[in-house]
Structure 1
Amino acid sequence: MPFTHLDIGGPVATLSLDHAGGNRINFDMRVELREAFQRIEESPARALLIRGEGGDFCLGGDIRDWPGAPAEFLRPKIQVFAEALDHLKRLPIPTIAAVQGGCIGGGFELALSCDLILAARSARFVFPEARVGIVTLQGGMMQIAERVGSAKAAEMVFRSEPATAEQMLQWNVVNWIVDDAELESQAAALATRLAEGPTKAFAATKALWRMQAEEGVKAAKAKLYDLSIPLFETEDARTALRAAAEAINSGKPFPKATFAGK
């Protein structure tokens, strides 16, 4: 049975986690996620929304598969999820995680691998790995440290205590909090808005951020004009700049641009 559902019926791709009992990430779901991100990259989608069915976004890895399994068996199985998350982070389109209820372990790492996190008030975030004597297997300890600093990261990773959506907002981990009843509609509206945006400019921005993270600020700045100046040659930018210049000359506010390129 499938544990995820991918809908690419329009400019927004929606990936739903659907594993009864908390959307735990078993070995089959890891493969499905990796394949889904490949399909999304090859599709005309201009934004990605990741959501979870039921009361929880994702309760992490399905550790019911793990007890007694030798390390040489577990490593390639677990590594599939690393490959999936790396592909997610490298997608050239904006990505959003809509989080409700539990967002735990690998589920938390999945959300952190998105560009934006929209959290319901019920959302609870935790890295429980220390409770069973392991580490955050997809580098979640590093992802969270980038956002909250090493001291707060140590607090979360070592204590394994859940943090509320409000705490995560204060610590710059989530972007917005909404009422649970509004999560679906607000997430869909945000994804649609981003899908209507300047996709090529978003892709260049994400590429520069990735280069900064992997190679440093100097390397990213060295490539800045190589990625940004060609945008002036796109029909999207030409049309939007012309309309903006005309608005300034006539004393009107900037018009809303329409971006067609991907």
Structure 2
Amino acid sequence: MSAVATVTLSRPSLTLEAKNALRDELAAAAADPSVRAVVLTGTGKAFCVGQDLAEHAEALRHDPTTAFATIDEHYNPIVTLLATMPKPVVAAVNGTCVGAGLGFALACDLRVISRTARFGTAFTGIGLTCDSGLSASLARAVGSARASELVLLAEPFSAEQAVEWGVAGRLVEQAEVLPAALELAERLATGPTLAYAEVKRANAFAWEQVLAAEGAAQARLGVTEDHRGAVEAFLAKETPVFHAR
């Protein structure tokens, strides 16, 4: 019996159903003593494109003051599980990886990525700051100067750039992403699990403070006209106009 658990994102965008399933499956893997390593992957041509904006727009229309409750209910528990569960987690990035998806990937311990994958931060494009720990994990991966550029400009970047800049260490053909990640996880599953847990504990130092600060910032931005207008513009396939209100 394999000591590796594979957790698959059920769809590219993060609906309420998808977030509940991901959080619960990760919690189960973290608590299972027979599991000594975890692989997180996506389906089809995408790993994860972040929050489902149609669902988010509806939440904003209903009540913008509660639309970001999902950060405490879903995003923060998900990235906390990935970053702190006492066993290694390998991200098998099979395709597009943006927004919270990039945060999830960077919360994993190791990343195997497809040559066809595309990456981006996306948050400022809809008038938000980072969540899912990205404000800290991206700077740790690529350095503060490049992280600022990637977040502020929100420009996409390629798989080759991801490896060059330190986002990922292993670049393979798309068909080999999951097999390569599973092979790596199987190797980790035979290693010193207690030592891996201590490595993760040190790497996740101050993680709670980062997530709390991100969540508070998103709640402030969530009630602005800039954010609401940008989400509606995205859904209408229009260019958002920001007024700083």
**Pairwise TM-score range, normalised by the shorter structure:** 0.7 to 0.9
Name the aligned partner's letter for residue 83 of structure 1: P
State percent identity of aligned pairs. 33
Shift of 1:14: 0.3
1:191-247 Cα offsets, whole Å, 9 max, x none, are 1111111112212222233348789xxxxxxxxxxxxxxxxxxxxxxxxxxxxxxxx
Corresponding position of 1:14: 6
Which has the higher Rg, Structure 1 or Structure 2? 1
Corresponding position of 1:65: 55
Q: Give the one of 69, 76, 79 matched to 1:76.
A: 69
Structure 2: distance between partners of 1:115 and 1:152 = 21
Contact 1:169-1:177 within 8 A present in 2 as well: yes
**Closer/same/farther in 2, CA of residues 148 and 69 from structure 1, 3 Å limit:** farther
Shift of 1:79: 2.2
Corresponding position of 1:33: 22
Greater mean deviation of Cα atoms: 28-37 or 99-108: 28-37
**Closer/same/farther in 2, CA of residues 26 and 92 from structure 1, 3 Å limit:** same
Corresponding position of 2:167: 173
Runs (4+) of structure 1 moved beyond 6 Å? Answer: 212-215
Higher relative contact order (CA 8 A, sep 6+): 2
Matches within 5 A, 1:162-201: 162-201=156-195
Is 1:147–2:136 an aligned residue pair?
A: no
Structure 1: distance between partners of 2:55 and 2:206 = 37
Structure 2: distance between partners of 1:212 and 1:76 = 22
1:54-102 Cα offsets, whole Å, 9 max, x none, are 0111111111112224233212223221122112211010101011221
**Closer/same/farther in 2, CA of residues 129 and 16 from structure 1, 3 Å limit:** same
Contact 1:59-1:105 within 8 A present in 2 as well: yes
Corresponding position of 1:107: 101
Name the aligned partner's letter for residue 28 of structure 2: R
Name the aligned partner's letter for residue 39 of structure 1: A
Contact 1:27-1:78 within 8 A present in 2 as well: no
Q: How many residues align?
A: 204
Corresponding position of 2:42: 52
The Cα RMSD (Å) is: 1.9
**Closer/same/farther in 2, CA of residues 213 and 129 from structure 1, 3 Å limit:** closer
Name the aligned partner's letter for residue 110 of structure 2: L
3-state DSSP class of the match of 2:38?
A: strand
Structure 1: distance between partners of 2:189 and 2:84 = 17
Corresponding position of 1:24: 13
1:115-140 Cα offsets, whole Å, 9 max, x none, are 01111101111011111111122231
Structure 2: distance between partners of 1:102 and 1:203 = 29
Contact 2:7-2:26 within 8 A present in 1 as well: no
Matches within 5 A, 1:84-95: 84-95=78-89
